[in-house]
Amino acid sequence: MNLLEQHIDFKQIKALIIASPGFVKEEFYKFLRQEVEKYPRLKQFKHNQDKFLLIHSANGYTNCLSEILSDPHVLKSLSNTKAIRQIRIMNDFFEMLEKDYERVTFGAK
């Protein structure tokens, strides 16, 4: 909660994604809402609840980022952002690699 308060500027972000397997994301969001009611200094969270996205992921590790970023709700909320453009580029690359592996080269050079 303290890290979010210190590092998130809601004027600069389109969405704040809370992702987890199971019900962890819902419990954390519930905790956030309870804290907002207790402490007036957290009013920025209350006024920006529409920016919170609760997304399911297979696990809590970073290897699920592409799964999370390809969720339809995330794609809709983050359209026209650098992260989504990069995910689309990587998906196109992997699709090309699958279909026509001789056209794709990658490596140090």
Averages of pLDDT over each 10 residues, the chain, 109 residues = 83 87 92 86 83 86 78 79 78 84 74
pLDDT at 48: 87
Report residue 38 CA to chain centroid gap.
Answer: 27
Report yes or no on 65 lying in a domain: yes
Report yes or no on 95 lying in a domain: yes
Report yes or no on 61 lying in a domain: yes
Report yes or no on 60 lying in a domain: yes
Tokens of 58: 């297979």
CB-facing half-sphere around the CA of 31: CA atoms within 13 A: 10
Residue ranges making up the domain that contains 76: 2-103
Report yes or no on 79 lying in a domain: yes
Phi, psi of 73 (to 5 degrees): -65, -40
Report yes or no on 13 lying in a domain: yes
Q: Whole-model pTM?
A: 0.67
Q: How many helices (H) and strands (E) does the chain have?
A: 6, 2
Report yes or no on 59 lying in a domain: yes
DSSP E strands, the chain: 16-20, 52-56
Report yes or no on 109 lying in a domain: no
CATH number where 43 lies: 3.30.420
How many distinct structural domains can be found in the chain?
Answer: 1
